[in-house]
Structure 1
Amino acid sequence: MALFSPGEVKLLREAGRPHGWARGEILMREGEEADSVVLLTGGLVKATVDSANGYTSLLALRGPGELLGELACIDGGVRGATVTAMRRTEGVVVTADAFVRLLERDSGLCLSVLRSVVGRLRDSDGLRAEQGARTTRARVAGLLVKLAVQYGSAAPETLPGAVSVQVNQRELAAATGASRESVVRCLRAMQQEGLVATGRGRTVVLDLAGLRRWAEE
């Protein structure tokens, strides 16, 4: 819960109710009216957007300590993305009205939410800048490093020290602005170098230091 102080987490817990979602279950759906926010306390989710031509873009992965759906609750708009549980996920659901009242009453919580939003905007700006300045191989490697460090889970059954990231080839392509074919070629080269292993719906990072070197090329 690094984004929020213990007191702020306590406020959100007291204002909301605990809830759990199974893998594949949708927490929020793009285009729907925003009636609540979710403070994640466990698990992992992905935020995606569908385009008119059927293409699905992966916007982000979110984990424990992060808040979901706050922007639409603040401005009264509709959901800007679909949020789906990638494994068993737990969180605290706070209604939109209760959340806004908390922000009005507690300046510390309000500032923490603002910092969270600013951090995401910086990440988004950085990603767009990287897409034009770095090779596809460096972008894919950099994203895998980031996801492994922030949201990865141990995969000792593959190799001691290995880290599993619940992201597939299509999602990697969408998140890095590359074609799926280019991502497949990158992953194949990484596998040949012993950096990663791929499985159904996931990528296992075998050599984080080596992958970092690829990201810095």
Structure 2
Amino acid sequence: MPDSTRPSVLHQNANNGQHNSREDFSLAALQQVPLFKGLSPQNLKMLSGVIKRRTLIPEDELLTEDETDNSLFFIMDGAFKITVRKGEGTVLLGLCGRGELLGELAAIDGQARSATVTAQTSCIVGSLSSQNFWKVVWPINPIPVNMAHLLAGRVRRLTAKVQAMATLDVRGRLAFQIVSLARDHGLPEGNVPHFIHFGLTQAELAQMVGTSRVQVNQLMMNWSKHGILTTKRNAIAVHRIDALCQMFPASLEASIPKSAQEFD
């Protein structure tokens, strides 16, 4: 006899850990999604009926470059890598985590996916079909305003990243990237205000800032000697984020919202 307390599963891929579930997200959980900020409990309850829960394990692909699926996803828990193909390999563009949207461009313009998104950790996402997004979700105020704010914020961050890549030396670019990771994804742990758990290798950091692994290693070792950060099993503990911020212009720092830890 099936266990009635467990969510029923719509689909499970035998080749990986992905599955979709009919289990609804709680209204409290949906309220934490920036896209749904300001929605009434009635609207959130209605949305929970069209949103599918999807779970992934590390290395599962959520989106694949050049695919034509146009569903929209929002991350409820976990972290993903964003990569694009380059020759026989891939290039890491960035990371995304809780609260962020994925696939919104394809949902809006119907074009193919521009990148591959792969689970870096165990993840839970909510998914919306393009049809439900436009017919059910988009007409609800203030969804259009929230989406505009999210896209504007993303454009500002991308502009700052392009500026950093074009104007800073390797030291400044790496400092900018680590501050971005720390403020976006770092969590307090013991005496460490920003602990980045993603398990990024130095080679991946090098890809993100356009340099070599050797240069990243040299800079990280130097910063470790000065007590700015430490590394352990590819995790990064940032002890002095202020020291890293001094390595690039204040105008670029302003593009990275400060974390709650920095206001304590």
The percent identity for this pair of structures is 26
Match of 1:44 in 2: 79
Between structure 1 and structure 2, the one with the greater Rg is 2
How far apart, in 1, do the equivalents of 2:94 and 2:182 lie?
Answer: 13
Match of 1:180 among 213, 234, 246: 213
One-letter code aligned to 1:212:
C
Look up the SS of the partner of 2:34 in the other structure.
Answer: coil
What residue is the counterpart of 2:13 in the other structure? none
Query: Residue 96 of structure 2 aligns with which residue?
Result: 62
Partner Cα distance (1:96, 1:118) in 2: 21
Q: Which has the higher contact order (CA 8 A, sep 6+)?
A: 1
Answer yes or no: is 1:73 the counterpart of 2:107.
yes
What amino acid is the match of 1:131?
Answer: M
Q: Say what the alpha-carbon RMSD is for the aligned residues.
A: 2.4
Distance in 2, matches of 1:64 and 1:51, equals: 27
Q: Secondary structure at the match of 1:15?
A: coil
1:64 and 1:108 map into 2 onto residues whose CA distance is 21
1:164 and 1:196 map into 2 onto residues whose CA distance is 11
* 1:116 aligned onto 2:150: yes
SS of 1:78's equivalent in the other structure is: coil
- Report the more deviating stretch, 5-14 or 111-120: 5-14
1:78-97 correspondence to structure 2 within 5 Å = 78-97=112-131
Structure 2 residue matching 1:128: 3-state secondary structure: helix
Structure 1 segments of 4+ aligned residues over 6 angstroms from their partners: none
**Are the aligned partners of 2:64 and 2:113 in contact in 1 as well (CA < 8 Å)?**
yes
Q: TM-score, normalised by structure 2?
A: 0.72
Q: How much has 1:6 moved relative to structure 2?
A: 4.4
**Per-residue deviation at 1:121?**
1.8
Q: Is this contact kept in 1: 2:83–2:92, CA < 8 A?
A: yes
* Cα offsets for 1:41-75 (capped at 9, x unmatched): 11221211122252x33223222221110111221
How many angstroms does 1:160 deviate by? 4.4
Q: Which has the higher helix share?
A: 1
Find the residue that maps to 2:55 and give its secondary structure: strand
- Cα distance in 2 between the residues matched to 1:23 and 1:53: 22
AA matched with 1:113: M
Unpaired segments ≥5 residues, structure 2 = 1-31, 251-264
Query: Could you say which residue in structure 1 is the equivalent of 2:201?
Result: 168
1:134 maps to amino acid: L
Specify the SS of the correspondent of 1:7.
coil
Aligned length: 214
The aligned amino acid for 2:54 is H
CA distance in 2, matches of 1:19, 1:2: 16
